[in-house]
Chain A
Amino acid sequence: MKALMFGWEFPPHILGGLGTASYGLTKGMWECGNMDITFVIPKPWGDEDRSFAHIIGASQVPVAWRDVNHDYVDSRIGRLMSPDLYYRLRDHIYADFNYMRTNDIGCIEFSGRYPDNLLEEINNYSIVAGVIARTINFDIIHSHDWLTYPAGIHAKQVTGKPLVVHVHATDYDRSRGNVNPTVFNIERDGFLHADHIITVSNLTRATVIDKYGIDPAKVTTVHNAVVPLSPELLNVEVNKPKEKIVTFLGRITMQKGPEYFVEAAAKVLKNNHNVRFVMAGSGDMMDKMIELAARRGIADRFHFPGFQKGKQVYEMLKASDVYIMPSVSEPFGISPLEAMQMGVPSIISKQSGCAEILNNVIKTDYWDIDAMADAIHAIISYPSMYNQLREDGLKEVAGITWDKAGAKVIDIYNRVLG
């Protein structure tokens, strides 16, 4: 079966969980066999893993005809796309896009990030999708998150092939209810045009059904999974401080519930002094949190090391005794699974999608700071609690693999294709 996927991020150049999930799922589907996947991203860097999918960069797809010879194309984009594919794509330009800002080989430039002119970039992406859809052969279209829904819809209208949209998050999660009307409309448009909708949790599924008014029959949950960590990351060396470490890792924004973590920390510190708290990350609520920690008089035990990337994340986890994710609304939340992979017991809010599939974690309501403080205390004070969660957590997370998720998606494809 041939699938055409539209995504926005792809490892190793990622900005959030979307890239990790798209990558894992694609690879998982490929592992199930008999899948030929073309994955479109706005801007490839050339160091992506192409072993399991054909990657097409929207920045290399011509939308305006330019008379360029083979050697020139090869020297310009050969690293990212074969000139033959470039010519095939050039043969399928369907309208005159010379009025747009195109470069010397007739392509539109993409940032591949979340720039201020994001809506324009989304629109351009959908123009490019029209060319791709006319060129290559596929059975089904799969769009990852709202940024690529217009592209998916376009491809569907051009070819009549069924569209599956994958909801990694909705604007309801990001804004805690105060949605951006433009984003909401793009999302809803995608849902209405889709032949099937895949959500990353039942929580998100409920949002799609209730808030966007979508027929429940065409919404299915496929939970995310994790890619096993490399031995290099598993064995990172860190100097562990003598106190117990409780870690929060993520954007310090309203959605992630950082204030509940500070309040719980204050409760724990009232009775237990052998512990330090770390809130790693950055975000618009960071200053407020620093102030709150100071107001609670726990600043000497509450640390803000800032944004962590790459290996630093795993070093941070390695040094931790407890991982906490008190998200107010989390479509899935892959980070507790990574903490479990590193053998760190996790506390997550019941309002997180991953709470639906995890057993060997502590689940509390995000607002229940008493329960959260209690759980932190239990893990750092009772060794058997720590060991039980750690060992069973490792076992559990090892079983949450992408090929299972991939098989479910292929199942949905088969259903959609009848």
Chain B
Amino acid sequence: MKAISFNFEIHQPMRLKRYRFFDIGNDHYYYDDFLNDDIITSLAHRSYIPAAETLLRMLSDKEHPFKCSIAISGIALEQLEQYVPEMIDLLRRMADTGRVEFLAQPYAYSLASLTDPEEFALQVKQQSDRITALFGVTPKVMRNTEFIYSDDIAPQIYAMGFKGVLTEGAKHILGWKSPDYIYSSATAPKLKILMRNPKLSDDICFKFSDTTWPEYPLTADKYIDWIAATPQDEQIINICLNLDTFGGLQPATSGIFQFLEALPHFARERGIEFWTPSEAVAKIKPVDQLVVMHPISDADEARDTSAWLGNQLQNEAFNKLYSIAERVRLCDDRRLKQDWTYLQAADHLYYMSTKHLADGAVHSLFSPYETPFQAFTNYMNVLSDFIVRVEEQYPLSIDNEELNALLTTIRNQAREIEDLNREVESMRKNIEHYNEEHKLPEPPKNAKTTNGTSKKKTTGKASPKKVNK
């Protein structure tokens, strides 16, 4: 038995507006609303919506059973809710078929897993809660930002209650091994690892409409043939694509939607099923342990984290950002928290890459900036302003630990006051009942309305004893 597990990713960052250093301290709105609206709306109409409609048809086709999984970042969800709410409806209808699984990932599409376990856990929870609230299903398998995974991250994922994780079938990790099996983590043996098949995924993603490719044109028939031709015991083929591959990277005119829709037909002919990642994790036993010392990802030739943390610019931005993480978590300001989320998106670091040649071309394809230096300058200016705002929340002279202790005290006291107030309230009611029952004369009532609270309290505190007795 062989199965295909399709995973579609939806993510769009909140792109920053041109933010000059003299705006620092003066302007606290960082986003290019027009650009963000424009990109997500046009992409939704070109790609997300037609793709979702196609998938919905495939999911409802009882004759050719189809299943897939979707991963969507919190930032993308927010933008869809704001600019393209019809897409949310489509996702909900997909969820209603019961044949779609939603995967967990950090809400902010951040690299928190590389540096800040607490932030990572918080964001994954935030994302899972959001998915549950919107679609009524709770993620059970993790797909980290850009498939980032390492031995350090594995125990964190397992501790959050996930049974499986989807990551990149990176050649330098797998060596001669195939990505089409399930592996287990070296540091969290109960955590199962699903691996993206890079060749079969990229054939659709990058090569589908490439006329210089010897395999052009790629048909569903041929594609399923390739999958059927893989060795008998390779059971699970993970095809992971950005949803905007359909209609975005590969234009609708290339026939990509028809290709997608035809897949279940040919799959059934050859006895290949479609599974969701949870199914795969539940049904298949791991063949081996996988040691991943250094983080892997799906980006660039190197398949490591160098796309985001490959040069000094990126490292400074990244370190500066997470240097204030603890402080931000102590704050309650909602706008501050929101900016914190948006600023963490890995995309901002991706734009700062100074890689050239083939990788550089991919980087600049997605970047709203002309050069990595511009990307860095703009981001650092925004971050500088953000840091100023965080510092304004609480004086810097108090360190995090002390501040945390103080805040805890304040919160505890607030709770105590609340409790006491509630007690006072109930006592007061008791007195009223008591007074009504015993039909006391008017004067005390007048005293209640005109006199200060101190008197009330004294009477209140005195009376319960009487009542209790």
Chain A residues within 8 Å of chain B by Cβ, number: 24
Which residue from chain B places its CB closest to the CB of A386 in the assembled complex? Answer: B312
- Give the segment of B1-9, B19-27, B57-65 that binds chain A: B19-27
Q: Which residues of B contact A385 (CB under 8 A)?
A: 313, 316, 373, 376-377, 380
Q: Which residues of B contact A267 (CB under 8 A)?
A: 22
Q: Which residues of B contact A383 (CB under 8 A)?
A: 316
Say yes or no: A378 contacts B376, CB within 8 Å: yes
Say yes or no: B312 contacts A387, CB within 8 Å: yes
Say yes or no: B22 contacts A373, CB within 8 Å: yes
Q: Does A271 contact B (CB under 8 A)?
A: yes
Chain B residues within 8 Å of chain A by Cβ, number: 20
Please judge, given known A-B contacts A267-B22, A385-B376, whether A362 and B371 are in contact too, CB under 8 Å.
yes
Complex formed: what's the CA distance from A374 to B377 in Å?
7
Which of the listed residues B311, B315, B356 has the most CB atoms from chain A within 10 Å of its own CB?
Answer: B311
Complex interface bits, A360-393 against B, C-beta within 8 A gives 1, otherwise 0:
1011000000100111011001111101110110
Please judge, given known A-B contacts A362-B371, A378-B380, A392-B354, whether A271 and B24 are in contact too, CB under 8 Å.
yes
Q: Which residues of B contact A295 (CB under 8 A)?
A: none
Q: Which residues of A contact B373 (CB under 8 A)?
A: 362, 375, 378, 385, 388-389
Please judge, given known A-B contacts A375-B377, A385-B373, A385-B377, whether A271 and B313 are in contact too, CB under 8 Å.
no
Say yes or no: B20 contacts A374, CB within 8 Å: yes
Complex formed: what's the CA distance from A71 to B351 in Å?
71
Say yes or no: B313 contacts A384, CB within 8 Å: yes
Say yes or no: B20 contacts A370, CB within 8 Å: yes
CB proximity of B369 to chain A, nearest CB, Å: 12
Please judge, given known A-B contacts A362-B371, A363-B371, A378-B380, whether A388 and B311 are in contact too, CB under 8 Å.
yes
Say yes or no: A374 contacts B311, CB within 8 Å: no
Question: From DSSP, what is the main secondary structure of chain B's interface residues?
Answer: helix
CB proximity of A400 to chain B, nearest CB, Å: 15
Which residue from chain B places its CB closest to the CB of A388 in the assembled complex? Answer: B312
CB proximity of B172 to chain A, nearest CB, Å: 25
Q: Which residues of B contact A392 (CB under 8 A)?
A: 354
Complex formed: what's the CA distance from A267 to B23 in Å?
12
Q: Does A82 contact B (CB under 8 A)?
A: no
Q: Does B128 contact A (CB under 8 A)?
A: no
Q: Does A359 contact B (CB under 8 A)?
A: yes
Say yes or no: A388 contacts B313, CB within 8 Å: yes
Q: Which residues of A contact B20 (CB under 8 A)?
A: 370, 373-374
Q: Does A270 contact B (CB under 8 A)?
A: yes
Q: Which residues of A contact B380 (CB under 8 A)?
A: 378, 381-382, 385
Q: Which residues of A contact B313 (CB under 8 A)?
A: 382, 384-385, 388
CB proximity of A336 to chain B, nearest CB, Å: 14
Which residue from chain A places its CB closest to the CB of B311 in the assembled complex? Answer: A388
Q: Does B381 contact A (CB under 8 A)?
A: yes
Q: Tell me the residues in window 194-242 of chain A with beta carbons closer than 8 Å to chain B beta carbons.
A: none
The 10 closest A-B pairs by CB, nearest first: A384-B316, A378-B377, A384-B312, A377-B21, A388-B312, A374-B20, A388-B313, A384-B313, A362-B373, A387-B312
Chain B positions near chain A (C-beta within 8 angstroms): 20-22, 24, 311-313, 315-317, 354, 356, 370-371, 373-374, 376-377, 380-381
Chain A positions near chain B (C-beta within 8 angstroms): 267, 270-272, 359-360, 362-363, 370, 373-375, 377-378, 381-385, 387-389, 391-392
Some 5 contacts from A to B, beta carbons below 8 A apart, are: A360-B354, A378-B376, A384-B316, A385-B376, A388-B313
